[in-house]
Chain A
């Protein structure tokens, strides 16, 4: 029913700056899609183009099978929740939620029914007569969500709805949004955030954008376990994945590479013979590394330059010979390692990643 389909969508501003290049995306009805990416990647612009607040410079946008490029926002069957809540400060909570229905000339009785239903759902009934300024941040965000629900849209659009809340409230509201999704399985939701934790916890599928391009689309675990390129690999997961330049020594069923630190590693990833002797990038997540006793047991060694004790885990920053960046290892619990210690690290072969000289993953190319 309410699929959203973007085909060759582009955004070019009046000053000739192209901020989105050729976006193709197919969103199925009932999906929870999260657009994530660093600031300036075009994720908010893309959402605003779907909402109709920004013009589409090229390509087509279809909602529910109809081309929506020139349709005004109100007729697209969407509702939007803004970062700053965008509540009308001079109207009560009730009037805020009723506004769109009043504009659409819905009958008073219907408006009342819809508003009360939404308020019930979001536990806002006691606050219906209050002005937004008399509400807490979390309550205001719920009113904003309620305002969207009242319109019973086919597609919900969320523009960084949690970034104005403090940390504890953010977790609580995140769970509310997840519950909201569960209670409305037929509605499609598109959610923009720069916070990867929100993306990982909420999304059915994540769309990771960077520099106006889609880097990868997939479920949260897919992005975590099988990043398509170095950018995705480093964006998802914290601390970011260690990337070490390497050279391909042997191709085939499994690939042998020599790291810039001169160690040689066997990675269980298929490579073509043509890749022989090419420059590549070896990747390993900090949490997949473990400290071992001897050089033979591990595959990489280095001197501890810095120790961060987080309580539940310890981060070791290692200076590895031949590597420009530090290699980070995340170990559970507390460790007795100190600055200056020389330690050895090992990893499960299937946790290793390998990217070609264009930073694309061999695992997905193969």
Chain B
């Protein structure tokens, strides 16, 4: 826009500032994602940013127990791999906690009474003794290893298998899909009436929609909960049903839907609608054959809004659907996990990522419509 500043240092400053801000904005999510792919034990002892590069760790592990020893000529030998199949390269090792780095990998350490320990860089070790090994536990081996970045899907396997998250995922979908689709049709008809039909009270209705746009959801909760309980008692059914939450989300989403769609529809060229009228189309024909096809972008953007809002909602779901296992949505589940296993970052990060992955896909896939909808709703 301002070409005159093109060669000034200001431009580099701009690049640097934006880069800095982008990093700040992305790091939290990136951290979550990377952590969710790490081994849960590592997660608890080192920052996720260390997982990206090869790191040097001092570790301790036990060798195979004496019961696994074999006799090779005159020696009793215990063999195994101290890394247990994990990738990594051992640089140093030792047999006592006082000198955990006493020997280089490949050297043979003399323990006592002719017992020796040899650890190869790939983790293979040989414990050898002229007499039989005794005791129940394996010998402790201290080692220093270069461990390359290591990622695993284990957290996701655990989370999706147990802990009800899989069920919650399905519950969330069950809530979201109808709650997104049902309001669209109702809102589109209302929006057309408010935009292009002439009738007394139209201005008041438009003003009401704008007013209801900001009514806090909290207002509605108690009266609706009362009504739901009453209706539930009346028909002898539970007050916490999927139908109930679909209708609730429809009601709460309608003001925005009507407002967005009306703003869009009122902006369609009036001559097109008049032309259709001259062509003999009734309001119903005009709506079906002209308005609906032309409003596709607005319909899409509302659908995205509603989808994100319903999927991400916690409040409405907790009040109208409750927290029983076959009703618990993802956000509720995640919130409960946060309370119950605050320190288990492996499960928490994987669960969090599962809850945000669908909205993120929707976001990246349909961003164009989302932005258009935002603009229709705000810049007028």
**Distance A49 CA – B290 CA, assembled complex (angstroms):** 23
Query: By the criterion CB–CB under 8 Å, are A88 and B290 in contact?
Result: yes
The answer, yes or no, to whether B163 is at the interface (CB within 8 Å) is no
Q: Which residues from A are CB-within-8-Å of B114?
A: none
- Chain A positions 117-147 with a Cβ under 8 Å from a chain B Cβ: 147
The answer, yes or no, to whether A84 is at the interface (CB within 8 Å) is yes
Question: Can you give 26 contacting A-B residue pairs, CB < 8 Å?
Answer: A51-B278, A53-B278, A72-B277, A72-B280, A73-B280, A74-B279, A74-B280, A75-B280, A78-B278, A80-B275, A80-B278, A82-B271, A83-B271, A86-B269, A86-B271, A86-B274, A88-B272, A89-B294, A90-B293, A99-B289, A100-B278, A103-B279, A103-B280, A104-B280, A147-B275, A147-B279
Query: By the criterion CB–CB under 8 Å, are A86 and B272 in contact?
Result: yes
Which of these, B274, B276, B278, contacts A88 with CB under 8 Å? B276
**Per-residue B-contact encoding for A54-96, CB less than 8 Å = 1, 0 else:** 0000000000000000001111001110111111111000000
* Closest chain A residue to B268, Cβ basis: A89
**A residues adjacent to B (C-beta < 8 A):** 51-53, 72-75, 78-80, 82-90, 99-100, 103-104, 147, 151
**Distance A53 CA – B275 CA, assembled complex (angstroms):** 9
Q: Which residues from B are CB-within-8-Å of A82?
A: 271, 274-275
Query: By the criterion CB–CB under 8 Å, are B269 and A84 in contact?
Result: yes
The answer, yes or no, to whether B314 is at the interface (CB within 8 Å) is no
- Chain B positions 150-184 with a Cβ under 8 Å from a chain A Cβ: none
| Given A86-B272, A86-B275, A103:B293 Cβ within 8 A | no
Query: By the criterion CB–CB under 8 Å, are B294 and A90 in contact?
Result: yes
* Closest chain A residue to B280, Cβ basis: A74
**Distance A90 CA – B293 CA, assembled complex (angstroms):** 7
The answer, yes or no, to whether B109 is at the interface (CB within 8 Å) is no
Shortest CB-to-CB span from A76 to chain B, Å, is 9
Q: Which residues from B are CB-within-8-Å of A84?
A: 269, 271
**Per-residue A-contact encoding for B164-207, CB less than 8 Å = 1, 0 else:** 00000000000000000000000000000000000000000000
**Distance A287 CA – B9 CA, assembled complex (angstroms):** 65
Q: Which residues from B are CB-within-8-Å of A100?
A: 278-280
**Distance A79 CA – B275 CA, assembled complex (angstroms):** 9
List 9 A-B pairs, minimum CB-CB distance, nearest first.
A74-B280, A100-B279, A86-B271, A86-B275, A82-B271, A90-B293, A103-B280, A73-B278, A86-B272
**Distance A103 CA – B294 CA, assembled complex (angstroms):** 18
Which of these, B271, B277, B290, B294, contacts A74 with CB under 8 Å? B277
Shortest CB-to-CB span from B299 to chain A, Å, is 13
The answer, yes or no, to whether B233 is at the interface (CB within 8 Å) is no
**Distance A79 CA – B154 CA, assembled complex (angstroms):** 70
- Chain B positions 254-312 with a Cβ under 8 Å from a chain A Cβ: 269, 271-272, 274-281, 285, 289-290, 293-294
Query: By the criterion CB–CB under 8 Å, are A74 and B269 in contact?
Result: no
Number of interface residues of B (CB under 8 A): 16
Query: By the criterion CB–CB under 8 Å, are A53 and B274 in contact?
Result: yes
Pick the most buried of B272, B293, B294: most chain A CB atoms within 10 A of its CB.
Answer: B272
Shortest CB-to-CB span from A115 to chain B, Å, is 13
Q: Which residues from A are CB-within-8-Å of B272?
A: 86-89
Q: Which residues from A are CB-within-8-Å of B275?
A: 80, 82, 86, 88, 147
**Distance A83 CA – B275 CA, assembled complex (angstroms):** 11
* Closest chain B residue to A51, Cβ basis: B278
Q: Which residues from B are CB-within-8-Å of A78?
A: 278
Q: Which residues from A are CB-within-8-Å of B294?
A: 89-90
Q: Which residues from B are CB-within-8-Å of A83?
A: 271
Shortest CB-to-CB span from B326 to chain A, Å, is 43
Shortest CB-to-CB span from B273 to chain A, Å, is 8
**Distance A73 CA – B273 CA, assembled complex (angstroms):** 12
Query: By the criterion CB–CB under 8 Å, are A99 and B276 in contact?
Result: yes
**Distance A84 CA – B274 CA, assembled complex (angstroms):** 12
Pick the most buried of B278, B289, B293: most chain A CB atoms within 10 A of its CB.
Answer: B278
**Distance A95 CA – B118 CA, assembled complex (angstroms):** 86
Q: Which residues from B are CB-within-8-Å of A88?
A: 272, 275-276, 290
* Closest chain A residue to B275, Cβ basis: A86
Shortest CB-to-CB span from B74 to chain A, Å, is 92
**Distance A5 CA – B311 CA, assembled complex (angstroms):** 62
Shortest CB-to-CB span from A46 to chain B, Å, is 15
Q: Which residues from B are CB-within-8-Å of A87?
A: 272
Pick the most buried of B274, B276, B293: most chain A CB atoms within 10 A of its CB.
Answer: B274
Q: Which residues from A are CB-within-8-Å of B279?
A: 74, 99-100, 103, 147, 151
Q: Which residues from A are CB-within-8-Å of B271?
A: 82-86
Q: Which residues from A are CB-within-8-Å of B274?
A: 53, 80, 82, 86
Q: Which residues from B are CB-within-8-Å of A53?
A: 274, 277-278
Which of these, A79, A89, A90, contacts B278 with CB under 8 Å? A79
**Distance A90 CA – B272 CA, assembled complex (angstroms):** 11
**Distance A82 CA – B276 CA, assembled complex (angstroms):** 11
Q: Which residues from A are CB-within-8-Å of B285?
A: 103
Q: Which residues from A are CB-within-8-Å of B290?
A: 88
8 further A-B pairs in the complex, CB-CB below 8 A; given A52-B278, A74-B277, A88-B272? A72-B280, A75-B280, A82-B271, A82-B274, A82-B275, A86-B272, A86-B274, A103-B280
**Distance A51 CA – B275 CA, assembled complex (angstroms):** 10
**Distance A79 CA – B277 CA, assembled complex (angstroms):** 11
Shortest CB-to-CB span from A340 to chain B, Å, is 47
Shortest CB-to-CB span from A102 to chain B, Å, is 9
**Distance A78 CA – B280 CA, assembled complex (angstroms):** 11
Q: Which residues from A are CB-within-8-Å of B289?
A: 99
Shortest CB-to-CB span from A116 to chain B, Å, is 19
Shortest CB-to-CB span from B289 to chain A, Å, is 8
Q: Which residues from B are CB-within-8-Å of A86?
A: 269, 271-272, 274-275
* Closest chain B residue to A75, Cβ basis: B280
Which of these, B269, B277, B293, contacts A73 with CB under 8 Å? B277
**Distance A89 CA – B271 CA, assembled complex (angstroms):** 12
**Per-residue A-contact encoding for B34-66, CB less than 8 Å = 1, 0 else:** 000000000000000000000000000000000
* Closest chain B residue to A153, Cβ basis: B278
Shortest CB-to-CB span from A310 to chain B, Å, is 37
Pick the most buried of A52, A53, A80, A86: most chain B CB atoms within 10 A of its CB.
Answer: A86
**Distance A51 CA – B271 CA, assembled complex (angstroms):** 13
Shortest CB-to-CB span from B305 to chain A, Å, is 23
Shortest CB-to-CB span from A54 to chain B, Å, is 10
* Closest chain A residue to B285, Cβ basis: A103
